[in-house]
Structure 1
Amino acid sequence: MSGADMMGHAGVLDDVSRETRDRLTAYADLLVRWNARINLVSRPDLAQLWPRHIADSLQLAALIPQGARVVDMGSGGGFPGLVIAMATDAHVTLIESDQRKAAFLREASRVAGVRTRVIAARIEAAEAGPADIVTARALAPLPQLLQWGVRFLDKEGFCLFLKGKNADEELNAANADWRMAVTRIPSRTDADGIILRLSDIRRVTDHNHASSGR
């Protein structure tokens, strides 16, 4: 079964170029084949690959400035980082600690005809950045994402995190240690989902220190 024929494909690729459509279809075909050996997505989710995973990741493409440097944490099967690489001209670094998944990401990048950098290491040990944007999807609670991601960010950079219905709870938890500008962007693929755009990120201790120094 080709990626173009999978359940849920209809409508997902309506607003993308033919080149992006071809890349995503080749990627989906490869993922289906590899998923028989590596758990890239759960078996129940495989039938919803296009709307649940690809379309969800694809909506970030419109938020990526031209030529941006992107670091994607915990890339797994390529969501959202590899999808971003296929739909934009961003320079994308994919961080994935699982060696087999990292091998898939390299092969998928080759098959789709996009250049990415794949780092097969734990996020806290990865050497990446500076990035204009740090992304993640279904990886960890927001306080942990900030702990990992802030060190990759350029001074003027921002984070794009795909979150679900618990986004406000995670923001409240993060406010204990972080200050940031928050933009909430409703998800087009999940009624309970939201995209968090976080900028001007500072630890509370850093913020207090800077304030006392004025």
Structure 2
Amino acid sequence: MPDHTSLPDVSRETLERLTCFADLLTRWTARINLISSGDVPHLWDRHIRDCLQLVPLVQRGTRITDLGSGGGFPGIILAIAADAEVTLVESDRRKAAFLREASRATGCRTHIVDQRIENIDIPPAPVVTARALASLSQLLSWTEKFLTPDGYALFLKGQHAPDELTDAARDWHMTVNQIPGRTAGGVILKISDIRRV
């Protein structure tokens, strides 16, 4: 178990559930590509702590749609640490199977949708999240129909975020709050009032 003091303010129960998730992900990664094998030793720092940055930005217990959930980042982390009700969208059936098992093992409130993002029809949510999935322009085109009118998106982005914002501004009106990330060059984009130009 990682050092409790090295994580943001999480309870012992949350830490235990995160550890259960991390152990399960490590075992499954040996069989399917959830994260790169080189990232396994850095799982807590590169993936779990990275996603925990979003916890203060969501209301506890809120509904979230997580696009391209992959290995559960940030969807499962938010389901555990923010007690969120998360719809995890992941078209890869093997990854979706992992998400179901991780949800069961950690006691998360999740719904797994194993279809392509462009094909799904789900109720809008107050928060939409994505990490390492697509360009901002593409994320906005998907997010528009999944977000409630007063909702917002949280996208974890890297050093190319300024270029992506410039590109997206050609086609989208939006209100953007850029929150510095915990990694060098990393940023959290909190985006609301999304509409096409």
Distance in 1 between residues matched to 2:37 and 2:166, nearest whole Å? 34
Gaps of 5+ in 1: 205-214
Identity level (%): 58
- Of 2, 5, 23, which aligns to 1:29? 23
Q: State the partner residue of 1:75.
A: 69
- Of 71, 86, 107, which aligns to 1:92? 86
The higher radius of gyration belongs to 1
Gaps of 5+ in 2: none
TM-score (norm 1): 0.89
Q: Indicate the SS of the match to 1:100.
A: helix
Cα contact 2:68–2:89 (8 A) shared by 1: yes
TM-score (norm 2): 0.97
Q: Indicate the SS of the match to 2:19.
A: helix
Q: Indicate the SS of the match to 2:34.
A: coil
RMSD over equivalenced CA pairs, Å: 1.2
| TM superposition outliers: structure 1 runs of 4+ over 6 Å | none
Give the Å deviation of 1:66: 2.7
Give the Å deviation of 1:67: 2.7
Q: Indicate the SS of the match to 2:35.
A: coil
- Show CA shifts across 1:15-55 (max 9, x none): 20111101100000001111110110001111110010000
Alignment of 1:4-19 (within 5 A): 4=1, 11-19=5-13
Q: Indicate the SS of the match to 1:79.
A: coil
Distance in 2 between residues matched to 1:155 and 1:132, nearest whole Å? 8
- Show CA shifts across 1:58-115 (max 9, x none): 1101100133210000000000011000001221100000000000000001111112
Distance in 2 between residues matched to 1:99 and 1:12, nearest whole Å? 34
Residue 185 of structure 2 corresponds to residue 199 of structure 1? no
Residue 177 of structure 2 corresponds to residue 183 of structure 1? yes
User: How many residues align structurally?
Assistant: 197
- Of 130, 141, 146, which aligns to 2:140? 146
Q: Indicate the SS of the match to 1:47.
A: helix
